[in-house]
C-alpha cells in the first residue's frame, strides 16, 4: 500500500513525477519550454513558489513551497493534466502520460535545501536549454521564463532568506553527496517521508502526532536503493585481495597511529615505514597492498572513509606501473563500473623539474607576499604549486599568468610519458591526456612526480595515484575509493536499459570479430554484444537498415577496414573507438 503524501505547511517539498513506461516526454526542448510555461502560469493562481527544477527525458523534479496542502495538490494536478493534453495533441496519442501519483518529500529548509537542489540539478546536463535551474543558482544569465518561475510569489522576507541560503551553492555543488543521495533522498522521496535533522524531526512528529521518519519495512521495492555498507566493504576487500595476491602483491598491515596516539592523516608515511626494512638496495622493490579506514578530513572533522590501495616501492619499471593501472581497471570491471569510468593521465616532471618549478613560483609570488595569509605563506614555502589551486580571490589575475609546469619538464620525463601511453594502449585501456591533472599531497616531503593517473566517474574520483618519492625512496602507487566504487556499482545495477552493439564481420574465418566480441563483453558488463558474421557482401546502407542495435562495429579483414557506426547520432568513428564507447555507456 502506497504511503500517503506528507504535507507540513512551513516546509518545502521535493516533487518527483515520472512518465508512464519511461516515455521520453522531455527530450525535446519545445516540450520542456511548454512545461515551464505551464509551471509559471499556474503559480499565481494557487499561490505556490518554486525553488528549483530539472528535467531528464522521462522525469521531472522540482522543489515547491505552499502554505496549504490543497493549493499544492491542485497546482500539481492542473500542471500534469494540462501537459498531458498538450503532449497527446502534439503526438496524436491518447491515454495516460504519468506513472501513477507523484512522489513528494518535505525537507527541512536550512539543513537540506542546498543538498536537495544539487541532487536534482546534478542529474541532468547543464549544456542543454531548459534542462534545469542550475545556471540561475550560480548567477549566470538565463532565459526570462526560468527567472519568472523562480522569482514568482516570493515575499521579500522569503526571497532574502532564499538568497542567503543559496549564497554558498557553488561550493555545495563541488561536494560529492552520491552516498547520501542513494541512501537518503531516493528512498525518502519514493516513500513520501520527511527529510530532517533529528531535533526538527521530533518537533514535527510531536506536532503531527505520528511517525514521519523513513522506515525500511515491508516488501522491498526495485527502485529503492539497498546497500549494506559493511558487508559490501568486506566483499570488496576480499575481491581486491585476490586480485592483488595473484599479481604478486603482499598484504601490508599498517599502523596509522603514532606514539602519541594521534591519527595520521595519510597512509603513505605508514606504508614507507612498513617496508623500508625489506628493501635491500635500489635494485630491489616491494609490491604491497593495503585496506584501511580513514577517520579525519582536512578540517579535522571526524568522518569514516575506506580505501584499498597498492604500492610498488623501490626501483620499478614503467611496465610495473602500467600493470598496476591495468589491475585497477580489472577491479573496476569486476564491480561493473569500468564502463562508467574515464582514465585521465598526465606527466608533471621528475623531482628535478619540481624543484626548479617551485623555486620559480616562489620568486614569482614574492611581490605579492603582503596579500597572502599566514597559511598561504606556509604553503608558498613548502608546496607553492598548491597556491595555483587555492588562492585569495584578489590574486586571480596573478595566478592566471603564473609559470606553468609544462615549461620545466625534461626530455627524459617526456620520453617516459610516451612509453607510458604506448603501454596503456597495449593493455587496451582507454585514456585521456589531461594537462590539468595535478595530484599533490598536503605534506611537505611527499609529492607526486613523473606520471600520474586518475579514474573519474563524472566529477567523482574513483581511483588515483602516480609516481612519488619520500625519504629518498621512489615509489608508484594508487588507491581505490571503496565507498564511491560500491555506491556507483549499486547505482548502475538498478534497472537500466542496456545499450547494445553488433559486431559485423566480412570474412571467411571471423577470428578477429570473435576476439573483439569477447573483449567487449569482458570490458563492458552493461553492453549487449551480438556477433553477425557475413559471407555475402551487401552495401553498408542495407545493414544499417536491418540491424536495430545502437552501435554497429564493421570489420573487414580482407580490406583491413575497421569503424564504428552510432545509429542514434548517425555518425561514423574510425579512431579511439573504445574511448567513444566508454563515454557513451557512462552517459
Each residue's pLDDT tens digit, 494-519: 445 678 888 888 776 677 788 888 88
**pLDDT for 142 beyond 60:** yes
Confidence of residue 167 (pLDDT cuts 50, 70, 90): low
Q: Please give the average per-residue pLDDT across 479-494, as a whole number.
A: 77
Query: What's the N-to-C CA distance of the chain in angstroms?
Result: 34
Evaluate if residue 373 carries a pLDDT over 60. yes
* pLDDT, greater one: 441 or 32: 32
- The predicted-structure confidence for 310-321, as pLDDT tens digits, reads as follows 888 876 688 888
Q: 483 or 283: which carries more pLDDT confidence? A: 483
Tens of pLDDT, residues 40-79: 999 888 889 998 999 998 899 999 998 888 889 999 999 9
Residue 386 has pLDDT above 80, yes or no: no
* Contact criterion met (CB below 8 Å) for 21 and 108: no
pLDDT at 85 (0 to 100): 92
**pLDDT band, very low/low/confident/very high, at 295 (cuts 50, 70, 90):** low
φ/ψ of residue 556, rounded to 5: -125, 95
Task: Report pLDDT digits (tens) over 126-139.
Answer: 888 899 988 888 87
Three cell numbers at 90? 502534439
Single pTM value for the model: 0.46
Confidence (pLDDT) at 189:
86
Alpha-carbon distance of 567 to 547, in angstroms, equals: 9
Q: Give the residue, 386 or 217, on which the prediction is more confident.
A: 386
pLDDT averaged over every residue in the chain? 78
Query: Which residues are CB-contacts of 96 (< 8 A; sequence separation ≥ 6)?
Result: 20, 84
What would the mean pLDDT of 300-309 be, rounded to a whole number?
Answer: 64
Q: How confident is the model at residue 300 (pLDDT cuts 50, 70, 90)?
A: very low
CA distances from residue 63 to 6, 52, 60, 77, 525 in whole angstroms, order as listed: 14, 5, 10, 15, 36
How high is the pLDDT of residue 178?
A: 60
| Distance, CA of 476 to CA of 321 (rounded, Å) | 7
455 or 401, higher pLDDT: 455
| Whole-number pLDDT of residue 159 | 66
Task: Give the pLDDT band of residue 161 (cuts 50, 70, 90).
Answer: low
pLDDT of residue 447: 67
State yes or no: pLDDT of 154 exceeds 80: no
Which residues make Cβ contacts (< 8 Å) with residue 517, sequence separation at least 6?
Answer: 503, 529, 531
Per-residue pLDDT averaged across 268-275, rounded?
66
Comparing 87 with 317, the larger pLDDT belongs to 87
What confidence score (pLDDT) does residue 495 get? 43
| Non-local CB neighbours of 271 within 8 Å, separated by 6+ positions | 252, 254, 288, 290, 311, 313, 475, 477
In the predicted model, what is the mean pLDDT of residues 89-113?
Answer: 86
CB atoms under 10 Å from CB of 279, counted, come to 16
3-class SS string, 95-108: CCCECCCCEEEEEC
Which one is predicted more confidently, 166 or 326?
Answer: 326
Residue 258 scores a pLDDT above 60: no
- Regarding beta strands 551-556 and 527-534, do their DSSP bridges make them parallel or antiparallel, or are they unpaired? unpaired
Query: How many whole angstroms separate alpha carbon 249 and alpha carbon 476?
Result: 13
Per-residue confidence (pLDDT) for residue 236, from 0 to 100: 84
Query: Residues of the chain with pLDDT > 90: what percent?
Result: 11
Angle at the Cα of 78 (from 7 to 106), degrees rounded to 5? 20
pLDDT at 416 over 60: yes
Report how far apart, in Å, the C-alpha atoms of 230 and of each of 115, 296, 417, 584 are.
25, 19, 39, 32
What pLDDT sits at residue 444? 45
Q: What is the pairing mode between strands 250-251 and 460-470?
A: unpaired
User: Which grid coordinates belong to 584?
Assistant: 557513451
d(CA 93, CA 97) in angstroms, rounded, equals 10
Q: What is the pLDDT of residues 460-476, one digit of tens each?
A: 888 988 888 776 777 88
- Where does the pLDDT of residue 227 fall: very low under 50, low under 70, confident under 90, or very high at 90 and above? very low
DSSP assignment, residue 437?
-
Q: Which of 177-186, 315-324, 439-448, 513-522 is the least confident region?
A: 439-448
Amino acid at each position: 500500500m502506497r504511503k500517503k503524501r506528507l504535507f507540513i505547511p512551513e516546509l518545502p517539498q521535493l516533487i518527483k513525477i515520472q512518465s508512464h513506461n519511461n516515455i521520453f516526454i522531455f527530450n525535446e526542448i519545445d516540450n520542456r519550454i511548454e512545461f515551464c510555461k505551464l509551471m509559471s502560469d499556474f503559480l499565481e493562481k494557487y499561490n505556490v513558489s518554486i525553488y528549483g527544477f530539472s528535467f531528464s527525458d522521462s522525469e521531472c523534479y522540482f522543489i515547491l513551497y505552499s502554505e496549504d496542502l490543497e493549493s499544492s495538490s491542485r497546482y500539481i494536478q492542473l500542471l500534469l493534466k494540462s501537459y498531458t493534453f498538450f503532449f497527446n495533441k502534439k503526438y496524436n496519442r491518447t491515454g495516460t502520460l504519468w506513472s501513477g501519483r507523484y512522489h513528494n518529500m518535505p525537507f527541512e529548509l536550512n539543513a537540506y535545501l542546498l543538498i536537495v537542489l544539487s541532487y536534482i540539478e546534478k542529474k541532468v546536463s547543464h549544456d542543454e536549454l531548459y534542462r534545469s535551474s542550475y545556471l540561475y543558482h550560480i548567477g549566470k544569465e538565463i532565459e526570462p521564463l526560468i527567472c519568472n518561475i523562480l522569482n514568482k510569489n516570493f515575499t521579500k522576507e522569503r526571497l532574502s532568506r532564499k538568497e542567503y541560503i543559496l549564497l554558498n551553492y557553488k561550493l555545495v555543488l563541488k561536494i560529492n553527496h552520491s552516498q547520501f543521495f542513494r541512501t537518503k533522498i531516493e528512498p525518502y522521496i519514493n516513500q513520501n517521508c520527511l527529510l530532517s535533522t533529528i531535533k526538527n524531526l521530533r518537533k514535527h512528529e510531536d506536532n503531527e502526532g505520528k511517525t514521519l521518519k523513513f522506515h525500511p519495512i515491508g516488501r522491498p521495492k526495485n527502485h529503492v536503493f539497498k546497500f549494506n555498507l559493511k558487508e559490501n566493504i568486506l566483499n570488496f576487500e576480499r575481491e581486491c585481495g585476490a586480485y592483488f595476491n595473484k599479481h604478486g602483491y603482499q598484504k601490508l598491515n599498517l599502523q596509522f597511529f603514532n606514539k602519541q596516539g594521534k591519527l595520521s592523516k595519510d597512509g603513505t608515511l605508514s606504508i614507507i615505514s612498513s617496508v623500508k626494512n625489506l628493501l635491500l638496495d635500489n635494485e630491489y622493490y616491494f609490491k604491497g597492498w593495503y585496506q584501511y579506514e580513514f577517520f579525519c578530513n582536512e578540517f579535522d572533522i571526524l568522518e569514516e572513509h575506506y580505501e584499498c590501495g597498492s604500492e610498488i616501492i623501490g626501483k620499478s619499471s614503467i611496465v610495473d606501473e602500467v600493470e598496476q593501472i591495468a589491475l585497477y581497471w580489472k577491479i573496476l570491471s569486476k564491480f561493473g563500473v569500468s564502463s562508467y569510468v574515464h582514465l585521465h593521465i598526465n606527466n608533471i616532471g621528475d623531482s628535478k623539474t619540481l624543484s626548479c618549478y617551485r623555486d620559480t613560483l616562489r620568486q614569482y609570488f614574492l611581490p605579492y607576499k603582503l596579500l597572502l595569509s599566514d597559511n598561504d605563506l606556509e604553503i608558498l614555502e613548502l608546496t607553492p604549486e598548491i597556491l595555483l589551486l587555492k588562492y585569495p580571490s584578489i590574486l586571480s589575475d596573478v595566478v592566471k599568468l603564473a609559470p606553468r609546469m609544462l615549461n620545466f619538464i625534461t626530455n627524459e620525463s617526456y620520453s617516459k610519458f610516451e612509453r607510458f601511453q604506448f603501454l596503456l594502449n597495449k593493455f587496451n585501456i582507454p585514456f585521456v591526456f589531461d594537462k590539468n591533472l595535478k595530484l599533490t599531497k598536503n605534506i611537505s616531503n611527499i609529492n607526486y612526480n613523473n606520471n600520474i593517473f586518475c579514474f573519474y566517474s563524472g566529477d567523482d574520483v574513483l581511483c588515483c595515484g602516480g609516481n612519488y618519492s619520500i625519504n629518498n625512496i621512489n615509489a608508484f602507487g594508487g588507491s581505490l575509493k571503496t565507498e564511491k566504487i560500491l555506491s556507483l556499482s549499486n547505482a548502475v545495477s538498478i534497472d537500466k536499459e542496456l545499450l547494445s552493439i553488433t559486431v559485423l564481420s566480412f570474412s571467411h574465418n571471423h577470428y578477429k570479430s570473435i576476439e573483439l566480441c569477447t573483449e567487449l563483453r569482458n570490458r563492458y558488463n552493461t553492453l549487449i554484444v551480438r556477433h553477425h558474421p557475413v559471407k555475402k557482401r551487401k552495401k553498408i546502407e542495407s545493414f544499417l537498415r536491418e540491424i536495430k542495435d545502437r552501435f554497429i562495429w564493421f570489420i573487414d579483414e580482407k580490406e583491413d577496414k575497421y569503424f564504428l557506426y552510432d545509429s542514434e547520432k548517425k555518425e561514423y568513428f574510425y579512431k579511439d573507438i573504445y574511448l567513444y564507447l566508454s563515454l557513451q555507456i557512462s552517459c
